């Protein structure tokens, strides 16, 4: 593997600024890596190599003339989750009803990356409508995990996770409502940050148009959050700063947010650990994932932190509360989005039969979610559920204190085999719950297990303590090694 593919985005930018390497050379190294690994992964679903090469050529010419005032990510390639608007590229959301949708404008986070000098390489694969933690859909097919092709890369930002894990892109744009940044990061051995609620704008995310944000305010604003995914922890803080803050459309994003300064001071800090949290309906944590959390707890204790174990049943009702919160913001039901208003039990049963025959227009997880939605007669009082959610959030904040951290698994196991999540569909809640509470949450890789699959940890803190979760991820990277290229893709 080319040594450039082991660097952070800002290390690459620094080499470019010093004229040690040109934007065109950087781009070609990454394109070559994508062309090497993508036939196996199916992670990049639409490339933008022609425009990327033209832009890199222009930047190389600019660099030759004057390198004194370059934007921070000048010449650095990046990839974009297919659910973001990206001018000239498709935004299908993995839905057959949107398979020909080509965008004429950029999502705000895409535009901000471009203004920072970064060069988009193309779009990456997602689940159907982004609503599953495996990445496959009727348009582009299935994406594999770079550490083991028989296993899932996670979802919904699964294409991003797979390319990052394979060393084919230094950073990417993901989004997260049920752990959709953090599960792919965990499964693919990279870093993912779900920012504090309201820190990054959502403008341009599937299925929304700009004018939709006039109605999406207050209690109708989605819990979805945009966020960065990187192969190096050191990129998370600066990329978040580039992406954060309001635009002219998304009224629920903070206008002038300020992140705290990064820190490496752990003595005296409150650290909560929860190695084996219990979530109703979800699997229990496997030993190797729990041990990662315990090891980190011991490490911080040795550094003088105030380490305390959180009651494993603290989050037991989180699954129900997540569904209540997400459901409270929906203006259109999932089955209506999936089938364009044509859903009925009979229609869904017919589509499930077609899937069984290998010629369905929809994926089985989406059909099962739709069927469950139509037959859901046990809904609880939404006001009571939202009150319970706020109570749990308040209690967690009280336990954390102003600058504490919570360490827990992002998932109960390492990357499952393809289709295995169908048998434990609620496992997403380990990561997903912190989207509806609004807490910042960062996932960091913690080495490989005996099968060569990534282990990981999730770091959570109070709202707007993004600098603390990211700082912790950076510290753990220096201590445990961070991202490691998959053995099957190394050439050393």
Q: Give residues with Cβ within 8 angstroms of 470, minimum separation 6.
A: 193, 233, 236, 237, 240, 262, 442
Tell me the two tokens of residue 223: 């819990």
Known catalytic residue at 81: yes
pLDDT confidence of residue 378? 62
pLDDT digits (tens, 9 = 90+) for 52-108: 999 999 999 999 999 889 999 999 999 999 999 999 999 999 999 999 999 999 999
How far is it, in rounded angstroms, from Cα 419 to Cα 201?
33
Residue 379: predicted pLDDT: 66
pLDDT tens sequence across 342-357: 777 888 888 888 888 8
What size, in residues, is the chain? 492
299-322 pLDDT, tens digit per residue, is: 999 999 999 999 999 999 999 999
**pLDDT band (50, 70, 90) for residue 489:** low
Residue 475: pLDDT over 90: yes
pLDDT of residue 264: 97
Kindly indicate the confidence band of residue 252, based on its pLDDT and cuts at 50, 70 and 90: very high
Q: Is beta strand 77-81 parallel, antiparallel or unpaired with respect to 148-152?
A: unpaired
The closest of 149, 140, 158 to 428, measured between CA atoms, is 158
Q: Which of 8, 15, 24, 81 is catalytic?
A: 81
Decide if 370 is catalytic: no
Identify the CA nearest to 80 among candidates 176, 205, 174.
174
Answer yes or no: is pLDDT of 151 > 60.
yes
Confidence (pLDDT) at 308: 98
- Residue spans of the domains in the chain: they are 3-318+385-489, 319-384
* 180 is an active site residue: yes
d(CA 355, CA 362): 7
What is the tens place of the pLDDT at every residue in 280-293?
999 999 999 999 99
Contacts of 142 (CB under 8 A, 6+ apart): 42, 134, 135, 136, 418
pTM of the predicted protein model: 0.96
Q: Active-site residue among 24, 157, 180, 370?
A: 180
Catalytic residue (one of 156, 226, 234, 366): 156
pLDDT one-digit tens code per residue, 426-466: 999 999 999 999 999 999 999 999 999 999 999 999 999 99
pLDDT digits (tens, 9 = 90+) for 112-138: 999 999 999 999 999 999 989 999 999
Q: Phi/psi zone of residue 130: left (φ > 0), alpha (ψ -120 to 50 degrees), beta?
A: left
Tokens (6 digits) for 284: 């229990």
d(CA 204, CA 289): 35
Preceding amide of 38 cis, omega within 30: no
Given a cut of 80, whether residue 341 has pLDDT beyond it is no
Give the span between the Cα atoms of 180 and 434, in whole angstroms: 11
Superfamily of domain 3-318+385-489: Amidase signature (AS) domain (3.90.1300.10)
Instruction: Tell whether the torsion through CA atoms of 361, 220, 244 and 468 is positive or negative.
Output: negative
């Amino acid at each position: 593997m080319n040594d450039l593919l082991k660097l952070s985005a800002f290390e690459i930018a620094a080499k470019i600024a010093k004229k040690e390497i040109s934007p065109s050379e950087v781009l070609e190294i990454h394109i070559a890596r994508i062309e090497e690994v993508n036939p196996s992964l199916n992670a990049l679903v639409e490339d933008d190599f022609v425009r990327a090469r033209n832009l890199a050529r222009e930047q190389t010419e600019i660099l030759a003339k004057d390198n004194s005032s370059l934007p921070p990510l000048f010449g650095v390639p990046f990839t974009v989750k297919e659910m973001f608007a990206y001018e000239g590229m498709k935004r299908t959301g993995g839905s057959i009803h949107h398979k020909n949708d080509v965008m004429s404008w950029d999502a705000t986070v895409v535009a901000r990356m471009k203004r920072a000098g970064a060069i988009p390489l193309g779009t990456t694969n997602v689940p159907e409508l982004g609503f599953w933690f495996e990445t496959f859909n009727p348009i582009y097919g299935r994406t594999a995990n770079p550490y083991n092709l028989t296993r899932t890369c996670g979802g919904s930002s699964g294409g991003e996770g797979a390319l990052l894990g394979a060393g084919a892109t230094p950073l990417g744009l993901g989004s997260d409502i049920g752990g959709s940044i953090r599960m792919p990061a965990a499964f693919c051995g990279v870093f993912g940050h779900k920012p504090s609620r309201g820190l990054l704008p959502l403008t341009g995310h599937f299925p929304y148009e700009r004018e939709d944000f006039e109605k999406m305010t207050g209690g109708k604003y989605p819990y979805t959050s945009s966020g960065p995914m990187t192969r190096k922890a050191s990129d998370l803080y600066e990329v978040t700063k580039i992406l954060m803050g309001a635009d002219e459309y998304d009224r629920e994003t903070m206008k002038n947010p300020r992140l705290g300064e990064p820190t490496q001071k752990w003595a005296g800090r409150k650290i909560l650990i929860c190695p084996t949290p219990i979530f109703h309906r979800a699997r229990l944590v496997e030993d190797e994932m729990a041990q990662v959390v315990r090891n980190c707890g011991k490490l911080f204790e040795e550094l003088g932190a105030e380490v305390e174990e959180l009651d494993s049943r603290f989050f037991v009702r989180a699954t129900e509360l997540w569904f209540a919160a997400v459901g409270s913001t929906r203006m259109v039901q999932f089955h209506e989005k999936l089938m364009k208003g044509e859903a009925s039990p009979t229609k869904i049963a017919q589509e499930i039969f077609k899937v069984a025959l290998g010629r369905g227009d929809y994926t089985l997880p989406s059909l099962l979610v739709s069927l469950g939605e139509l037959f859901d007669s046990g809904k609880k009082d939404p006001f009571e559920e939202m009150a319970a959610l706020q109570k749990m959030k308040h209690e967690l904040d009280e336990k954390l204190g102003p600058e504490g951290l919570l360490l827990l698994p992002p998932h109960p196991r390492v990357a499952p085999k393809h289709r295995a999540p169908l048998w434990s569909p609620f496992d997403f809640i380990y990561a997903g719950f912190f989207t509806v509470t609004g807490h910042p949450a960062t996932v960091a890789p913690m080495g490989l297990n005996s099968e060569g699959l990534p282990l990981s940890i999730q770091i959570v803190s109070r709202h707007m303590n993004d600098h603390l979760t990211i700082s912790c991820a950076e510290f753990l990277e220096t201590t445990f090694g961070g991202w490691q290229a998959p053995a099957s893709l190394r050439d050393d």
